[in-house]
Amino acid sequence: NKDAFSWEEYLKETSSSPAPPSCFRQSRVPPGNDFKMGMKLEGHDPRNSTSVCIATVMGLMGTRLRLRLDGSDNTNDFWRLVDSADIQPIGTCEKNGDMLQPPLGFRMNASSWPMFLLRTLSGAEMAPATAFKKEPCRPLQNGFKPGMKLEAVDKKNPYLICPATIGEVRGDEIFVMFDGWRGAFDYWCKYDSRDIFPVGWCSVTKHSLQPPGNSVTLPKSLQSPPPPPPSSSSSPAKPTRRSMQSPYRLSAPLPPLPVRKGVRG
Ligand code: MLZ
């Protein structure tokens, strides 16, 4: 398949290198995905992380699960890795002396929660304890360097994992830039985020990898600087307004770039 994205060719075309796997909080050997559609488990409510809810597996891709909280609508699905610390077998909460909570935005009256819980669990297929894998340890330090390539979850479209580049490193934070998308999806995150993966992860785990967008990626010297990280402790500098700067404001000719055909989106 000559149209398929190939990291090998892309790294050559862009004369760049992958971030070493030791930089990531991911297992060196990716865990297997032993979950099945419809299985139930306990998970922290992403919108209210102190409460533990019942979730149902709505989809599986690579080492990730698409989850929906029981009693919630279908517009708040979220994704977790099979070795995420946010998920656990049914019964864990009770064993710890805690109570299962209705999700934020529970679609019924709060008083119907105990009965809802009983019904949602009765006859349900519960994910076996063996399907939950131990979360890997965080690397001892931030080993990322600007320019290194990686695969990263697009937080605006969290079912997607896409080729990306480290744009900047500041303390424990890294700036993840999505190749070919003019900064629209870029974000700061901690170096030990579970949403970033070494080059080749998707291929090894059989997760789809969205090819780079087809916008020109400006050379570093012509790029506007990334916005400061969210919790920057440095002196309050003027906010960077990327959107105000025209991406066409080029003062020097661009080096020739490999041409990619086909519009994606
Ligand atoms: N087609 C959609 C998704 C783009 C996803 C980009 N990922 C880095 C759009 O253009 O908004």
ipTM entry? 0.94
Lowest mean pLDDT among 61-65, 103-107, 112-116, 255-259: 255-259
Is residue 238's pLDDT more than 90?
A: no
pLDDT at 218: 62
> Which of the pair, 113 or 240, is modelled with greater confidence?
113
Is residue 222's pLDDT more than 90?
A: no
Whole-angstrom distance, CA of residue 138 vs CA of residue 21: 12
Q: What is the mean pLDDT of residues 146-165?
A: 98
Band of pLDDT at residue 110, cut at 50, 70 and 90 = very high
pLDDT at 227: 85
Q: Which residues line ligand 1 (CB under 6 A)?
A: 154, 157, 160, 162, 178, 181, 185, 210, 265
CA of 244 to the centre of ligand 1 (A): 21
Percentage of the chain lying above the pLDDT 90 cut: 79
pLDDT at 233: 53
Band of pLDDT at residue 41, cut at 50, 70 and 90 = very high
CA of 265 to the centre of ligand 1 (A): 5
CA of 79 to the centre of ligand 1 (A): 17
pLDDT at 163: 98
Is residue 17's pLDDT more than 90?
A: yes
Band of pLDDT at residue 246, cut at 50, 70 and 90 = very low
Whole-angstrom distance, CA of residue 3 vs CA of residue 167: 27
Q: Is the pTM of this model over 0.90?
A: no
Is residue 145's pLDDT more than 50?
A: yes
pLDDT at 57: 98
